Each structure stands twice: as structure tokens, then as C-alpha cells.
Chains A and B, each alone.
Chain A
Amino acid sequence: MSSWLANTISEAEQVQDWLSPKRAESLAQLKNTPWPNRKTEAWRYTPINVIERARFSAANDTVVQATAIENLDSIDLVFIDGVFDAQASTIDFPEGLCISQLSEGGSCDWALDSFKKTKPNKHFFGLINDALATSGVLIDVAADAKIEKPIRIVQSFNPGSQSHTRILVRIGAGAKACVVEQLQGDKLCFNTSFAEYDIGESATLEHYRLAMQCQAAISIGGSHFSLAESAQLTSNLIGFGSQLSRVDMDIIHAGENATSKLNVIYLLDGRELFDLHSSFEHTVPHGTSDQNIRCIVADHANAIFNGRIHIHRDAQKILASMNNRNLLMSDDAQVNTKPELEIYADDVRCAHGVTIAEIDEEAMFYLQSRGVSRPDAQVMLSFGFINELVDQMPNIAIADWLRPQLRQRFANMEIR
């Protein structure tokens, strides 16, 4: 066993709280799970030995980071190195919304059941998060409540910090909410952040995971969703990539007639790596899922996408689609993409496509015929390739806030 893991387990054994029974299960599983390496399928392209090598300690070098989203009127829950910052957070909530700290979860009747309910046990660092996450939030949206303001969970990280946070969200039947998970920081730190969403019957969730930690950061986490009958999910993931960035998205259609949509943008530079494993689990008939993953990869960066669609035996009349398009900006950039379709029902429509995109010559000619130079047109088309998904974001303030940042990041890639 790796010494890092041994230390982590002994640290976890000290944790005593209302989640202890659940934590013990995960610890037991961890003890029987080998440390992932290149031969572990789920970690084939993503080396994790940097975690063992790096030294983490309590941070003392505080860096103030700008995390505000302009023109977004949101309910803010701010964490710095995994510690809740009450002063920077919103304290009063609209009717129908109940938010409490994970540490106070013992008093929430639903929380214990929701812990580990939608997050599958297969995720190695999910188990570590199970064992170690003592901070985080519980969000409960009452049935039929329409929460207009987005709930924004902001996590920023100081150099050298190590933290584990957990978010549990329950959205009551017929309710509507928007949750933004925002992670920022470019210095070496290690964090795991897992979120579980239980979306009730006919409820609607608009979700954003802004995985904008970059450069030296080590960030591993996931967002996991369970959809009851006629529930609707729109999820947007932005991945900047870093020394090690890994996100697992699991979307489980547990009720019929649910619809889910996942749009993902990667924008990777330098030696950054971003690894997304998505999994759509159709366990019941009648359901629609759609995922669009677009990557621009520059320099020596590495984009990994593993997209799984699993349609269970009796889950007939499913429409599932997956589309992954990649744009390589340099000869040394890498894309490792793997669609994984497991279809056990016979009356379904499942489409998937992967391309390493070339510039669309028809669009190129159109732009050039207006006087735009070929290099300028190339920039416009490449940025347009990801901006198309930004345009689809339902929240205009978030889209408007993201666009110049993506443009800037993209422009920096161009310079080399």
C-alpha cells in the first residue's frame, strides 16, 4: 500500500461524527483497493504519483482570489481550503431553501441516507472523500419551491493546502434550482470535492461545475446525479486542466421520462491535464440523454475523455447521444478519448461520435471571402467551436463572465 494511502487511512480512522458508519464502509473498501496505476483502466492516462510526491501542509500563505461572478445575483457559500468562510457567504435564504453545514448534518433527517446514495463506490478518490470530508454543505430544496437565485459553492485554495469537501443536494418534487460548483486556484494544492444530487420527480436542476483550477493544482472530484421520473438536468462543465484534474460525472436515470444534458468545454494549455469520465446510466425505459464534449488542447496538454452510456436490459425507448469533438493546437498536444457503450435493450436510439476536428473549410472560405485573414479566421472558428456551448448556457451572467476568460486563455494558447 502506498504510504500516502496508509497515512490517509490512519487519518480517516480518527474522524468521528454522524457519518462514521458510512465512512467505515468506504474505509473498509479502500483497504481492499489497490492504489491506482497505469494498469487501472479508470486511471490509464492519468498518472497520480504526483499526489504521493507532493508535500501538503496547513496553508500559511494566503492568496486572495477574485471569485465573484459579475452581474450574477447568487446565494454564495464560500470555502477557503475546505473551511467555510461565513463572512463571505450569504446568510439568509429564500423560502423553500434550507442550507446547512455538513458538520451539522446529524440534525438533517435526509442527509445520512443521501450520503453515498448517487455517487458510485467505484471511484477511488470518492472513497477517500467519503472517509475524510468533514466540511461541505447540505442543500435541501422543498417540493415545488422555485429558487430563482443560483446557489454558488465557491472553493478557492491556497498553496500547499489539502482539503476534502462534500456537497449533498436534495431537490424536492416539482422544485427548480440552479447550483454552481466553482473551484479556483493555480498553486500546488490537493483537494477532492464530490457532490451528490438527488433530483426529485418533475424537478429541474441547472448545474455548473466550473473546474477552473489550473497549472500546479491537483484536483479530483465528481458530480453525481440521480433523476426521478420526469426530472430534468442541464449540466455544464468547464475544465481548465492542471497538473492533475479529474472529474467523474455520473448521471443516473432512475425514473422514466427524465431528460439530461451535459455540455463540457476543456481548454488546456502547457502541460495541463484534464480527465473526465462521464457515465449515463439508463436503468428504466423512456429517457433522453445528450452529451457534448468539446476540447481545445494546446502545447503539451493532455485531454482525456471516457464517455460511458449504459442502457439496462429493460430500459427501452431511450434516446442517448454522445458527441466528442477535439481540436489540437500543437503536435505535442494529446487527446485520449474512449466511448463506452453498453446497450442491453433492443429498442433504443444511441448515437455517438468522436472527431479530432479539422477546421471547417466551408466556414473558413466564408470568413475569408469577407476579407478576414486565414489566421484570424482560424482563431474565430476555433473559439466559436467552444463558444457554441457557452451560448447554450441558460444563465447569461455566467456565460458572459466565462466568455472573456475563455477568450483570454485561448489567446494565450495562440501566442506560442
Chain B
Amino acid sequence: MLKINDLHASVADNEIIKGLSLEIKAGEVHAIMGPNGAGKSTLSYALTGREGYEIASGSATLDGAELLDMEVEDRATAGLFLAFQYPVEIPGVSNMEFLKVSVDSQRKARNLESYTSSEFLKIAKAACKQVNLPLSFLKRGVNEGFSGGEKKRNEIMQMILLKPKLCILDESDSGLDIDALKIVADGINSQRDGERSFLVITHYQRLLDYIKPDFVHVLADGKIVKSGGPELALELEAEGYSWLESYDRNAEQEVNA
């Protein structure tokens, strides 16, 4: 589904992603863990096409289509979805309008008819209930005055409505208490259908107790330095990331030698 090959990306002339390769097959859940500054968020922004994230070389294809050449909105309609670490507040634009226009854009790209307002209202209400947000949130401005947890749940609601092929979850667990975490994880799990793939970016093992990954990767200094099964996350939880420093030193020594 997603194939990233030797990706190099920089922000303000600083290279952050330094040759990252990763393949995610349909239906798989991959987790990327790593210390602060490893490049986790940069990876998600580089893939979704945020301005200011320059791609120096490499490729990233979604079902064979090169994402890195597409406009932001075309990546989205191609099936890429990013659940933001810090969802943006847009006062004056109602959540309902935002959701309807987003879903309509996606349907248009798939040559499907737009929903009528009443059809969409039903669907939106169901999604809203699924992530345990009061229906009044549909009327409010996008994320306006939402708590951190409510914003994260709004992201998951969008994911449910947009039905992407590949979901990148950028620290969807940060700032959540255990109840909110369960709601977010349940929302994500409800979308696992054997076809849809997930890239879960997180600091902590905690989220992975609820969303069982097939693979875990450790990102450090812009590269994947270790990959393994779910047990790798437990190992990291127990040992922290400090072993990475020795890993780096060893690597450097190897290079120098």
C-alpha cells in the first residue's frame, strides 16, 4: 500500500529525515516510536505535503501513485489521512460544514455523488456518537474551544467519515486520559478492516496496548534504526531510548573504522 524509499526531507535547510525506507502492506498496522526530535512529525508532514517540508530525494507511493508530486488535497483524495498531533482551530467554519465539504471532495474524487444534507447529517451524527462527542460539536466552529481530548476524538471522527486507505496517527494518544485513550483506540480499531493500513506515531507503548501493531519501528536521527514485532515496543518501554545513544556511537565507530 505505502512504500517509502530512501526519503530525505528537510525543514528550513536542516535535514531531518535522512534516508528512510518503509513498506506498509494493506491491512497492516505499523508503529513508529522514537525520542523527541527523531523526525516523527516531519515524516508525517513530508508525506502529507505540508508547506516548508522540502523533499530532497526519495519516493513515497500510495498504491503505486507517487504522493510526493501531488498537491496536499490530492494526496488526501488518493486515500492518505493524517490525524494531527495538534488539530487546528478554525472559528467561523462550522464542523458540520467542514466535514460535509471534506467528504464531498473525497466522493467527487471517487466519482461518487455528494450526499444530500439530510443523508450526511445522519452519517455525521453516527460518527459523532461513535467517538462519544456531543452532537452539538457538529455545529461548533472546527475544533473551536475543544479540549485536547475532544480535538483528538474529532480527528478520529474525520477518519471514520473520510474512509482513507492509509491513516497516519501523529501522537493521537498525547494529552489523553485513560478513558479518552480508550475511545480514540476503539475508534481506530473500528476502522481496521483488513484493507485499511495504519502508521501509528507515538512516544509511548501505552497506545499500543489498545492498538495492536503488526510491526514496530524505532526512528532515530531521521532513520529507522530497528524494526521488530510488538515485543519491541515493550522493550523500549522498559529500557527507554537511552540505548539509542550507544547504538549511535557504535554506528559512528563502525563508520569511522
Contact = CB atoms under 8 A, between A and B. Distances in A.
Given A362-B88, A380-B98, A371 B93 contact: no
Contacts, number: 82
B72 A365 contact: yes
Given A361-B51, A367-B98, A376-B101, A381 B90 contact: yes
B90 A363 contact: yes
B111 to A, nearest CB: 14
Interface residues of A, number: 27
Contacts of B141: 384, 388, 391
Interface in A355-402: 360-363, 365-374, 376-377, 380-381, 383-391
Provide the main secondary structure of the chain A interface: helix
A376 B200 CA distance: 30
B194 interface: no
A371 B90 contact: no
A376 to B, nearest CB: 6
B113 to A, nearest CB: 16
B93 A366 contact: no
A372 B73 contact: yes
Contact of B162 (A370, A381, A388, A390): A370
Contact of A380 (B73, B91, B97, B162): B97
Interface stretch (B76-84, B125-133, B201-209, B230-238): B76-84
A363 B162 contact: no
Nearest to B102: A370
B105 A374 contact: no
B192 interface: no
A196 B88 CA distance: 42
Contacts of B90: 360, 363, 366-367, 381, 384
A383 B141 CA distance: 12
B101 A383 contact: no
Contacts of B93: 380-381, 383-384, 387
Given A365-B50, A370-B162, A384 B73 contact: no
B197 interface: no
A40 B82 CA distance: 56
Interface in B82-136: 82, 84, 87-88, 90-93, 97-98, 101-102, 105-106, 109
A267 to B, nearest CB: 14
A196 B90 CA distance: 37
B70 to A, nearest CB: 11
A363 B105 contact: no
Nearest to A365: B50
B73 A373 contact: yes
A371 B102 contact: yes
B10 interface: no
B92 A370 contact: no
B101 A380 contact: yes
Contacts of B71: 368, 374
Contact of B51 (A365, A371, A384): A365
Name the residue in A366, A377, A386 with the highest tally of chain B Cβ atoms < 10 Å from its Cβ. Answer: A366
B48 interface: yes
Contacts of B81: 369
B158 interface: yes
Nearest to B78: A371
A363 B72 CA distance: 13
Contacts of A383: 92-93
Interface string A332-373: 000000000000000000000000000011110111111111
A378 to B, nearest CB: 12
Given A369-B72, A371-B77, A372-B73, A385 B105 contact: no
Given A365-B72, A368-B71, A369-B82, A386 B92 contact: yes
Interface in B39-95: 48-51, 71-73, 75-77, 81-82, 84, 87-88, 90-93
Contacts of A363: 88, 90
Nearest to A389: B92
A77 B91 CA distance: 35
B53 to A, nearest CB: 10
B126 to A, nearest CB: 19
Contacts of A372: 73, 101-102, 105
9 contacts: A366-B142, A371-B105, A372-B101, A374-B71, A383-B92, A384-B90, A385-B92, A388-B92, A391-B141
Given A371-B109, A384-B141, 15 more contacts: A363-B88, A365-B72, A365-B88, A369-B50, A369-B84, A371-B77, A371-B105, A372-B101, A373-B73, A373-B105, A380-B98, A381-B90, A383-B92, A388-B141, A391-B141
The list of the 9 closest CB pairs from A to B, nearest first, reads: A384-B92, A388-B92, A384-B93, A371-B76, A370-B102, A368-B72, A371-B105, A387-B92, A366-B88
